[in-house]
Amino acid sequence: MTSASQRLWRTSPLTYLALVLAALLSIYPFYYMVVIGTRSLEAINDVPPPFTPGSAFSDNFGRVLDNDAANFLTGLMNSVIVSSVVTVSVVLTGSLAGFAFAKLRFRGRNALLLMIVVTMMIPTQMGLIPLWGMMQSLGWYDSLAAVTVPFLVSAFGVFMMRQYASQAISDELIEAGRVDGASTFRIYWNIVLPALRPAAAVLGLLTFMEQWNSFLWPYAILTPENPTLQVSLSFLSYAYYTDYSQVFAATAIGTLPLVIVFIVFGRQIIGGIMEGAVKS
């Protein structure tokens, strides 16, 4: 035996068996999405159910595109716009405020920071009903502003950036900038923001995923004429719940972007989540 395989089996085979099983169960529904999304509708009623992908994807997805009950493409575009704008804004406002809380001194700093922490514990649904009314009065019903503006800042984002900034950026570095005559904003832009990059990337990824998948609020305030992707999927599934191949083709396409993001950046995302857990 090589030393590598000796080391391998120092962990019991049963451990691997359990983990492989867990991995398969986690991945299977994705695979199933692909199987049904690429099968013709007739194949779905087969007994036993189909287990391998078919070749009807373009036909299925064609029906999605022709379907004006869900406006899938509009939804896809809207989700790209909303998620991107929110992500950029959350990272910028979060790093700006996080920098201020970590490295600048001002009166009320601790009280305000405490407020932000408390804020993170409060469930999002609490303000739903009045917010809906506010959007009506602002004339934002069924508009992208309604699903973008309220989420441009995030308490979690401020807190995360503050934690990272206080350990990653030394006071000497800021002082050096001051001695060179840099303004506070210049220090933020040229010194702090570059140093925050790793944390900013994780925050950006988490924010993008959260926005892409967000459902309740967009569902409440948007209509099928101007949906986000998730809202579009829900209406598609209501209206065509018998046409599973169409619904699954759309769901697979809607899930694909995040799966790609996850395959590329999964390490960072997982690292960020695990680090956040230990700190809180």
Partner 1 sequence: MSLSATTAPPSPAPPPHPTAPRRRRGSLLNRLDLKYSPYLYIAPFFLIFGIFGLYPMLRTAWMSLHDWDMIGDHSFIGIDNYTRLFGDEYFWNALVNTFGIFLLSTIPQLLLALFLANLLNRTFLRAKTFFRMSIFIPNVVSVAAVAIVFGMLYQRDFGLFNWLLSFFGVDAIDWNGERWSSWTALATMVNWRWTGYNTLILLAGMQAIPKDLYEAAAIDGASQWRQFWQITLPMLKPTFIFVVILSTIGGMQLFTEPLLFANGNILGGDQRQFQTLAMYMYEMGIVNLNTAGYGAAVAWAIFMIIVLVSLINFVLVRRTAK
Binders of partner 1 in range 155-184 (CB under 8 A): 155-156, 158, 175, 178-179, 181, 183-184
Place of tokens 């993001």: 261
**Tokens of residue 102, six digits:** 């970590």
Q: Which residue lies nearer to partner 1 by CB, 181 or 194?
A: 181
Q: In angstroms, give the least distance from the CB of 87 to partner 1.
A: 14
DSSP label at 149? G
Three-state secondary structure call for residue 69: coil
CB-based contact 185:118 (threshold 8 Å): no
Closest by CA to 154, choosing from 212, 87, 101, is 87
Q: Pick one of 2, 55, 107, 110: the residue that binds partner 1 (CB under 8 A).
A: 107
Contacts of 137 (CB under 8 A, 6+ apart): none
Query: Quick one: DSSP state of residue 40?
Result: -
> Does the footprint of partner 1 cover residue 22 (CB under 8 A)?
yes
Q: Of the listed pieces 57-65, 70-78, 106-114, 194-202, which binds partner 1 according to CB under 8 A?
A: 106-114
Indicate which single residue of 40, 58, 119, 190 sits in contact with partner 1 (rule: CB under 8 A). 119
Contact of 85 with 148, CB cutoff 8 Å: yes
CA pair distance 243, 67, nearest whole angstrom: 12
CB of 81 to partner 1, least distance (A): 17
User: Residue 125 interacts with partner 1 (CB under 8 A)?
Assistant: yes
Q: Closer to partner 1 at the Cβ: 71 or 255?
A: 255
Min CB(271)–partner 1 separation in Å: 10
Stretch that binds partner 1, among 55-63, 67-75, 194-202, 249-257 (CB under 8 A): 249-257
Q: Which among 61-69, 70-78, 148-156, 195-203 is the span making contact with partner 1, rule CB under 8 A?
A: 148-156
Shortest distance (Å) from residue 5 CB to partner 1: 10
Q: Which of 147, 165, 191, 233 binds partner 1 (CB under 8 A)?
A: 233
The residues near 246 (Cβ < 8 Å, ≥ 6 apart) are: 41, 60, 63, 64, 67, 236, 240
Q: Is the separation of the CB atoms in 227 and 218 below 8 Å?
A: yes
Count of residues engaged in binding partner 1, rule: CB under 8 A: 109
Of residues 76 through 95, those in contact with partner 1 by CB under 8 A are: 93-94
Contacts for 160 with CB less than 8 Å, ≥ 6 apart: 94, 98, 199, 202, 203, 276
Residue type for 251, please? Answer: T
Q: How many residues does the chain have?
A: 280
Q: 242 with 63: CB under 8 angstroms?
A: no
Binding residue for partner 1 (CB under 8 A) from 44, 81, 88, 193?
44
Using the rule CB under 8 A, is 194 a contact of partner 1?
no
* 100 lies in the site for partner 1, by CB under 8 A: yes
Within 46-75, which residues bind partner 1 (CB under 8 A)?
A: 46-49
Binding of residue 209 to partner 1 (CB under 8 A): yes
